[in-house]
């Protein structure tokens, strides 16, 4: 299940199940969105991106959905694996702002073997 504590919200899923991580963004003028994966002690790693003129984009085992009406972004991971355990951040970019990336609060994904 999903829980929100004092720090990062955590999502726990069984290995093999699908994961859905949600994010609310703030700037309605943002035109580019990215999901990043951050493992402990490392920098963010690009997973998938989507432009504001799209509402869905699929990659390998991952799908990003964008709902501009409610400023909501989600990342779906199919057949979650232990290696997917990490913190996931959504990020929004406003191209008029020199590619400045604004990160969301992050969600910790724990995969239970």
- Which residues of the chain form contacts with other proteins (CB under 8 A)? 7-8, 34, 36, 41-46, 49, 89, 98-106
Smaller CB separation from other proteins, 28 or 45: 45
User: Given the DSSP bridges, would you call strands 10-14 and 19-24 parallel, antiparallel or unpaired?
Assistant: unpaired
**Cβ closest to other proteins, residue 6 vs residue 113:** 6
SS3 content of the chain, % helix, strand, coil (to 5): 5, 50, 40
| Shortest Å distance, C-beta 55 to other proteins | 19
Residue 93: CB minimum distance to other proteins, A = 8
Nearer to other proteins, 15 or 60 (CB): 60
Instruction: State the Cα angle at 11 between 106 and 85, rounded to 5°.
Output: 75
- Distance set, CA 108 to CA 6, 25, 29, 35, 99 (Å): 13, 18, 27, 13, 26
Closest CB 108 distance from other proteins, rounded Å: 8
């Amino acid at each position: 299940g999903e829980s929100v504590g004092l720090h990062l919200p955590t999502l726990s899923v069984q290995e093999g199940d699908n994961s859905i991580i949600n994010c609310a963004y703030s700037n309605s003028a943002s035109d580019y969105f990215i999901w990043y994966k951050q493992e402990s002690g490392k920098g963010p790693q690009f997973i998938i991106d989507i432009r504001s003129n799209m509402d869905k984009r699929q990659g390998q085992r991952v799908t990003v959905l964008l709902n501009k009406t409610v400023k909501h972004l989600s990342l779906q991971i199919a057949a979650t694996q232990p290696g997917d355990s990490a913190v996931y951040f959504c990020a929004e970019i406003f191209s008029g702002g020199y590619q400045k990336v604004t990160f969301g609060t992050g969600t910790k994904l724990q995969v239970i073997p």
